[in-house]
A and B are shown apart, each in its own frame.
Chain A
Amino acid sequence: MSTKLFTTTALLGSLAALPAFAQDCPIKVGVLHSLSGTMAISETTLKDTMEMLVEQQNAAGGVLGCQLEAVVVDPASDWPLFAEKARELLTVHEVDVIFGNWTSVSRKSVLPVIEELNGLLFYPVQYEGEESSKNVFYTGAAPNQQAIPATDYFLEELEVEKFALLGTDYVYPRTTNNILESYLQQKGIAAEDIFVNYTPFGHSDWSKIVSDVVALGADGKKVGVISTINGDANIGFYKELAAAGISADDIPVVAFSVGEEELAGLDTSNLVGHLAAWNYFQSAESDANEAWVEAWKARMGEERVTNDPMEAHYIGFNMWVNAATAAGTTDVDAVRTAMYGQEFPNLTGGTAVMLPNHHLAKPVLIGEIQEDGQFDIISQTEEVPGDAWTDFLPESAVLVSDWKELGCGMYNTETSSCVQIKSNY
């Protein structure tokens, strides 16, 4: 019976689509997330998210009269393998769109392949900006959608005067901290009031760093910690914070890489009040979010949580569906053009808009950690448009990205020339 219903919808759908192109069915959606290796911890969730979204869309009649088919490959947290798998998705499986990657290095690995073969990639994770590719839509937060508002919150609401920027030693923290250092100095914070530290992945011996941070308070200025510490290392860090008895009222910590998933590995009773900045928290109150969380738990189990990159895929996927429907085809260039200005409701309320620089306009949320491992949202901004090139570094301040009007991702406004069309990875 359901097949019959499906055929009818499909027929109707294909009739609607006929004037434009005859679509090859099924439409293939590539999912490029690591299912093994170090990144599997985060990315497996996103693979499940994509499968759920595809199923939901199929239940709702598919796209352009076609059913969707998710093609899942495993790049195994191995960066060169990301490029290989992306090529395989585009040339062997001939997918129409790819949802995937986590970490900038994996994205930089697939960029040349995607641009060479004119694919389409949706990247769902916060990243450091300073990039704009014609073939990538960045649905995660750029620094001005996460780091800058959180820093403003520290400066204005908590009146922090001295900053400890702690990060894992890789590109996202490095670049974000560079931007923040420059931003803070523009805001009148002296260079010697900014303490920066980088630790390796999975670092566990935090006692010295925590006591360094405490010692910062010696000159009578309020200290705040901005943490870009990644993954497992957070566990040792927060345990040491709790052991040192540092309350969020004395030295608040705002984290950019700690979400609901990461807190699951921790006893949060000693961390209540510390902060995280994201574009989405599971605790957001809206009907769409309630339905989303419910569907997720029904599929994956009651103890599973939702997080920010999942929302990014949710928005990205739905926008792609709408853009493909509007364009009447899944052809990459047509969909790309149709993407600009696409609007879709956020799970946190409000509407996300796809900008011509391939970033979203999204609200920024700041949450306080609660005992149950969820976040209490204490601040929510209006939609902030994502900025590919930060305004707070001199070399990037002159650059803009506009694929719609200028057709250029790296346009120098000083010389009025396009620096490059293809990315320089």
Chain B
Amino acid sequence: MTDTTSLFPKYAKSRPFVARHPSVLIFLVCLALFTLGVTILSEGFGIGVISTSFIKTLGKTLCLCLVALAMDLVWGYTGILSLGHMAFFGIGGYAIGMWLMYARTEIIVVQSLAAAPLPPTPQEISDGIATQIFGVVGASEFPPIWAFAHSLPLQLAAVVLVPGLLALVFGWLAFRSRVTGVYLSILTQAMTLALSLYLFQNDSGLRGNNGLSGLQNLPGLDAVPQDTVSMWFLWASAAALGLGYVFAAWTVSGKFGSVLRAIRDNEARVRFLGYSVEAYKLFIFTVTAIIAAIAGALYYPQAGIINPAEIAPIASIYLAVWVAIGGRGRLYGAVIGAAFVSLLSTWFTGGQAPDINLGVYTVQWVDWWTILLGLSFVAVTLFAPKGIGGILDLLEQRRSPDRHGADLGPDAGALREKEADT
């Protein structure tokens, strides 16, 4: 859909954004209906059909959809297969987690010191908080990176700034050296591996392997039940996803989007045309890193705990899997893929899926689900590169048969071999 409009820019300019992109409107309506439905069925605000633990799962899934959207922008539209975006997601989680832990602990410490015979000095309060937070890793002093943890606005700024800066520096170095294709993928994977190894160390100052925990309890809001808190986060996640979707749709429409897709299809040619390919790539890399970080900042308070295992390279690869299965180069594809695969994964590993008795052997999904996922992923790559989104495309094509064929994703257009064939 986005493609047709960008092919006819003059025609497109004369109509409002939403009208040019009916899919955005459809998506927003679906999202709103979903949120409303969940609210009505929830325990916190409705009739209690959906359990709070499932509300949390749904809320987390919305965040995953948002990060998949970012992945689709950077991979599906620009052709940069980043295997490191979950690192930015994790950094966002850590940044918000630091404030959540600090503020909650501060309340406890101040309360307990209030009973002491001497009023506490600021140093004693700070030591008390540090002992409580870092006691489990055998330290009792604040590492320098916790300097802003006392302030919510500063940590919220960190959610955006830290991953943004990291992506900017990393991207600038990589794109400047013209590291592309699989090399860039391996490099981003190395980045997330280095980050997770670094965080695994106790000396990293973020509690090593334990990570930050108890994030679901909002400081000062102990009295509010989780039934309610989980709904707040679900709404916030839905709002973020909606905004993210509009932003992404706006980015990939118009001339800017055309350049992105052109870079994906033939980077060298775009460069010859005089575009600063590096600047475009750097922009999209950084912006998607920030979107991922925001998604992470919303995700981890719902998950309750963040630790370095969340940033392991495998997480980023799964992100690519979601987008590929959903169908890259389509925003709704990314959302569908993330929601579909992660919910299915929850269902299969949750033990609810019925075992299949083959007589000689019983297939237990807990054991076989990963194999199924891996193989179906191979199958999608081989036989259905458009993913689930491709099915929607088919419907679309039936409605407007003269429409140009949708692209096949990052690799389809580019290679010289193919041109030599024709």
Contacts and interface: CB of A to CB of B under 8 A. Distances in A.
A87 B53 contact: yes
Interface residues of B, number: 47
A272 interface: no
B53 A174 contact: no
B217 interface: yes
B185 interface: no
Contact of B208 (A35, A78, A170, A423): A170
Contacts of B105: 424
A68 interface: no
Contacts of B140: 395
B104 A424 contact: yes
A120 interface: no
A297 B208 CA distance: 38
Contacts of A80: 303-306, 310
B180 interface: no
A111 B214 CA distance: 8
Contacts of A412: 112
Contacts of A201: 200
B52 interface: yes
Given A79-B305, A84-B53, A116-B226, A174 B138 contact: yes
A262 interface: no
A201 B208 CA distance: 12
Interface in B85-133: 104-105, 108, 112, 115-117, 131-133
B209 A169 contact: yes
B51 A419 contact: no
B309 A79 contact: yes
Nearest to B212: A425
B213 interface: yes
Contacts of B210: 104-105, 108, 170-171
B137 A171 contact: yes
B56 A87 contact: yes
A73 B351 contact: yes
A260 interface: no
A174 B309 contact: no
B28 interface: no
A241 B327 CA distance: 52
B346 to A, nearest CB: 9
Given A74-B350, A200-B200, A83 B305 contact: yes
A419 B349 contact: no
A419 B108 contact: yes
B214 A424 contact: yes
A58 interface: no
B137 A91 contact: no
B351 A72 contact: yes
Given A91-B52, A415-B115, A424 B132 contact: yes
A200 B312 CA distance: 14
Interface centre among B207, B213, B349, B366 (most CB of A within 10 A): B213
Contacts of A396: 135
Contacts of A170: 200, 202, 208-210
A118 interface: no
A74 B366 contact: yes
Contacts of B213: 105, 108-109, 111-112, 425
Contacts of B132: 424
A418 interface: yes
A189 to B, nearest CB: 18
B136 A171 contact: yes
B363 to A, nearest CB: 14
A36 interface: yes
A112 B53 contact: no
A169 B137 contact: no
Interface in A109-160: 109, 111-113, 116, 128, 130-131
A36 B57 contact: no
A201 B104 CA distance: 31
Nearest to B305: A109
B216 interface: yes
A378 interface: no
B201 interface: yes
A92 interface: yes
Contacts of A200: 197, 200
A47 B176 CA distance: 53
B211 interface: yes
A83 B303 CA distance: 8
A200 B198 CA distance: 11
A76 B201 CA distance: 23
A130 B303 contact: no
B417 interface: no
B304 A113 contact: yes
B307 interface: yes
Interface string A370-410: 00000000000000000000000001100000000000000
Given A36-B349, A88-B350, A104-B136, 15 more contacts: A79-B211, A80-B305, A91-B52, A109-B305, A111-B214, A112-B214, A116-B217, A169-B201, A170-B208, A171-B210, A174-B137, A175-B136, A200-B197, A395-B135, A424-B132
10 contacts: A72-B351, A74-B366, A80-B305, A88-B53, A170-B209, A174-B208, A419-B108, A419-B112, A424-B132, A424-B133
